[in-house]
Structure 1
């Protein structure tokens, strides 16, 4: 579990609406599960802050945002939600005892990742990057899935 108050200190953020602990994080208001913390990422064509009300309505326990919002729920406002995603993933990785195998390069990463995953998963619980979610959003989201049952993690990282 991660507390918003602890993140506020680590991320130079402002806690609003009370402290809360969470274990799962979602960046998509359409697919989040009840109790997830919603992280409002911004893209070229969208602003995740615009979906906070939808996320809370669908059962999010709170939100990590980059704008001041007039919404009554536990929230952490941070300067950069992309940076926050990376830091939260780093915290989760530091709490794990799993051995991590990271793959990078210009060709063959996905194939090698799948081969290593098949070998390791026959012996132990192994987390693997899904599809080719190997960018600055996909890698942290994969690391956030690490838990106490995983002995290995096979992480694909794009070279771009």
Structure 2
């Protein structure tokens, strides 16, 4: 797989929903070799660990990984990956965010708009955002679909 990345470019706008929504331009062109040797070119959006995501301008999520979470908490990421694999845990995930009512005003945090089927680059791997149970979303390693192969 080869990847060409452009700087992240966001367009921020206010919304009546949660936080400020961000339209992030797909700035990653990846060439992926399929098992049969054919090549697919994929235009993806780069996401960073800890960023907030919004689906359908309503549901809030947060993207993270075992490597980023372990570094942030001061643990060895290699040990954390080994433990996660032994226990059958995911190494990357998207968590649903709850809502909170407060009595004082707070600064709105940006949420990056995502959609089902959207290709994303996250920590060096191309994933697709897929639907999961209960209105959640999940990262699935990107496999080119019919018609995407060049």
Higher strand share: 2
Q: Which has the higher contact order (CA 8 A, sep 6+)?
A: 2
Q: TM (normalized to structure 1)?
A: 0.27
TM value normalised by structure 2: 0.28
Q: Which one has a larger percent helix, Structure 1 or Structure 2?
A: 1
